[in-house]
Chain A
Amino acid sequence: MTMPLKLNGRLTIEDLNALPEIPIEGITYDQMYIEKQPICPEYIPPDQDIIPSSKRTVVIDPGRICMPFGAMWAAVGVHKCIPFVQGAQGCTTYPRYTFSRIFREPVSIATASFHEDTAVFGGRKNFIDGLRNLIIRYHPEVIAIITVCSSEIIGDDMEGFLEEAQEELEEELGPKILDEVKFVITHTPSFAGSHVEGYNRAAAAFLKTLAKRTTPNNKVNIIPGMITPGDIREIKHILKLMDIEGTILFDISETLDCPLRLPQPMPYYPKGGTRTEDIVNMGNSLMTFALCPDQGGAGAKYLEKRFKMPATIGPLPLGIHSTDLFIKSLAEATGKPIADEIKDERGILIDAMADTFHYTMGMRVAIYGDPDIAAAATRFCCELGMEPAIVGSGTESKQFVKDVWATAYEYDRKPIILNGSDMFEWEDYLKKDKIDLILGNSKAANVSKEADVPLVRIGFPIYDRVGYQRRAYVGYRGGEYLLDLIVNTILDSKFPDDRVQQ
């Protein structure tokens, strides 16, 4: 009996049911064609003219969030630092909610509690009272003052207010208070950029306010960007193997991934985070590495300009090539040899890649994320022999386009690059193309289900799975983990269970 074959040789459910018996060679998942019910019965595919984000003003399913969030992320990575948000209550509660969802940790962020009167009269009174209340109740070491859309539009003069507040604090609590508490102002109006820019600005603001040059030392500065606590641990591990002392600015590894040990000291403060004195000392280091060009690059550039400190900006050490670059420049900057253990780690990753290239070669992937992560993931995919078909970033970035083109040129690929686009456009390209795998954050989960393409979670934010914040993607060991994730996901979805045994 000859079966009526559907487009590209696939069998529908009816065809499958009509089969007298399953052929000896089996039916691979690939041949099956399971028609999905659309979510909404009245769904009409949108006009093709409206899909490119350059042709419309509306933004749907944005891949970015607001600028203050990036600054808060940075400030949370400083020891005993509380971000003080000069804005309405929602501007702290939404980010706290987002932090809780991603990291499953309590995060303290204070608010200036803007109400109608503040919108009319300005935020001066709220700011001065707020700082006082915050200091009395929480005794922070650093207060990261973060502005939002509303305070920027009203035109709150934060520097002026801060001077005034400091005078009042000195009067009330004695002059010692100004040594005990440091203030850092970051201007982050959300209409001028995304969380990526917020982190960038916070890095520059912290260094501008705190870093000093006294006696040079042999340390290196590392500004990691918005990567996970696990990633930061991996970077510390690399530094330890290389016997290099380093300061990681915005070290969230022990503030957003803390142990539960009873009894907790009260008030509860995470014990980790970059110390203030280390930030002050960052002016004395040998060199600065900003791992993500768009997230933290401004900090490295500031140190370069101010203290003539050489800066290496990007790429994120993810995969073989970028990690090689990172380790080489670490060795060159400090004069330390590359440790044998690191060479072994590299060897293990290479071995893993050799063992699995059968699965990964030629797979077409769609990538979406923050610009630095998306660019790094594109390179790693190319290293695995995969074919990046669509690469999208939520935030617009020139560096991202440059990096992706460089990779594509090197590996002779021709990806569609969506720079600063939303997920709506990316989704449409993905559905029109034949894609085998998605590399993206949790926001791509729905798309992945709808288009029936498996998803490997990477980047920010991941809130629908546990434990991703503890895992590293950077370095050779991180590459190993990501490789395993990718291959296992392919095995799960592209191969029948009885065809994966060795």
Chain B
Amino acid sequence: MKSCLNLCRGTHLVRKRKNGTNLPLCSRPSAPGGITQRSCAFYGARWMLAPLEDAIHVVHGPVGCASYGSTVRGRSFRVFSTALEEKDIVFGGRKRLIRTIKEAKAIMPHAKYCFVYATCSTAIIGDDIENICKKMEKDLGCPVIFVNCPGFKGDSQASGHRVAYESLLNRLIGQGKRTEVGEYDVNIIGDYNINGESKVLKSLLEEMGIRVRCIFTGHADYEGIIAAHTVRLNLLICQSSGRFLAEALQKRYGIPYLKVTFLGPSQTMAGLRKIGQYFGLEAQAEKVIATGYKAIKPGLDRFLPRLKGKRAALFFGAARMASLIKALDDMGTKVVFTGSQFGDLTTYKETCQAVSPGTYIIDDASEQDLEHLLDELRPDVFMGGIKEQYLSHKLGIGFCPFPQLKRAGPYVGFQGFLNFAGSVHNAVYAPVWKLARGE
């Protein structure tokens, strides 16, 4: 490994040893002056709450934050902005916020609840948004929820994820009741319905006879959220952002949670079996597994031989790291380095267990670190977000973007694994890489 990389990254970059675990330093603020892949708390909160489309989303700050925040996972959502101007910064944005919330409600009268996001500017000038929200709640007659996510809060977007879940937990969950509660009701926590995942998960579980009541936050609505405490079990999918909510629900309402992942057939099977065991539905689980696996077998036979022995590299948020490595294992693909923007100790422990010795693990890599790692290790395919995509392409390395393109379909479940394998296959075998090398 290049010496300059080691010098600058210190122990944020480690290589897995044969015996024992060595983990990278993590959950630290990033050093100034780097080209960071991390983002801010506001980004994290929007990432979580944007799919709640029956709510009013008011961004209290200059117009820039609202225009950026209206795009989440490559989709546009409507947000209302207070669009603060210079005089509001000087005299405070209180009046503007009150008027904006009222007007937003007039434009969207069917909305049942309202989120008000703080931004850097409004947090620094000290607008008492929480009190304004309380006051507005009485005027509008619907919950007005303050999301305290100024951009500088915490180390990365992970703090925004947490704030978003906190606001849901403290203000909405437990407020409502359900008239009928089934024996096999579950919530899914940490699925964001990037490309129809929620539908796949729902149908998989419904085949087993399990009813999904609310998916945080990929497929959630007001009724689902306020009655989220009336289920038998929570299924935790995104382990970094969702763990907080799952643990809180367990503590407050005594609902147990199961860690499951539906990436790759082996994990999907294990997950379904786990759920089956919990509810005593083992036979149904086996049935779903058998039909699901049978359906994709011909596809796997076609793809997997071509992917065997290929080398992959990952750089993500945090959630999918360990589970994706296992899914890649199913594919016969070796991971050469993996990293995350805001992983915590638990994520890295799981990752370290999942990877084979000799793999590099990096925390909070900057653009240059990724560049060096890619240049040095030359994986066949790199997976990450859109910011990393074009860097990888410039170095002549195939890229598999997350969130994936609409065309690729969902990656979870049995059929999803086939979609995923197809995407990886496309990234590895695109003829352009051969042409670029002049072969």
Contacts and interface: CB of A to CB of B under 8 A. Distances in A.
B243 interface: no
A258 B391 CA distance: 11
Interface stretch (A106-114, A233-241, A290-298, A365-373): A106-114
Interface in A127-158: 127, 129-134, 136-138, 148-150, 153-154
A194 B61 CA distance: 13
B37 A93 contact: yes
B120 A150 contact: yes
A88 B151 contact: yes
Contacts of A62: 63, 66-67, 81, 83
B34 A191 contact: no
A96 B366 CA distance: 13
A130 B395 CA distance: 27
Contact of A100 (B65, B366, B386): B386
A464 to B, nearest CB: 10
B320 to A, nearest CB: 19
Contacts of A190: 62-65, 121
B151 A91 contact: yes
Interface stretch (A2-10, A51-59, A218-226): A51-59
Q: How large is the interface on B (under 10, 10 to 19, 20 to 34, 35 or more residues)?
A: 35 or more
Given A87-B151, A98-B68, A137-B368, A149 B63 contact: no
Q: Which of A89, A90, A154 has the most CB of B within 10 A?
A: A90
A18 interface: no
B267 to A, nearest CB: 30
A47 interface: yes
Given A64-B67, A114-B152, A137 B8 contact: yes
Interface string B309-342: 0000000000000000000000000000000000
B40 A153 contact: no
A50 B156 CA distance: 37
Contacts of A104: 390
A266 interface: yes
Given A108-B35, A264-B395, A268-B391, A60 B107 contact: yes
A260 B393 contact: yes
A119 B152 contact: yes
Contact of B372 (A148, A260, A266): A266
A356 interface: no
Taking residues whose C-beta sits less than 8 angstroms from the other chain, chain A's interface range is: 35 or more
Interface stretch (A38-46, A208-216, A330-338): A38-46
Nearest to A92: B36
A192 interface: yes
A108 B36 CA distance: 9
Given A115-B155, A129-B32, A191-B88, A65 B64 contact: yes
A484 B62 CA distance: 38
Contact of B100 (A58, A127, A136, A191): A58
A267 B124 contact: no
B38 interface: yes
A268 B84 contact: no
Contacts of B135: none
B36 A130 contact: no
B82 to A, nearest CB: 7
Contact of B103 (A50, A127, A129, A267): A50
A66 interface: yes
A259 to B, nearest CB: 9
A382 to B, nearest CB: 30
Given A44-B109, A113-B31, A115-B155, A65 B89 contact: no
Interface of B: 4, 8, 29-43, 58, 61-68, 70, 76, 78-86, 88-89, 96, 99-100, 103-104, 106-107, 109-110, 119-121, 123-125, 150-157, 366-368, 371-372, 375, 386-387, 389-391, 393-396, 436-438
9 contacts: A57-B82, A58-B82, A59-B81, A91-B40, A130-B31, A130-B33, A137-B4, A189-B86, A268-B371
Nearest 4 pairs of A and B residues by beta carbon: A66-B64, A90-B40, A133-B33, A130-B32
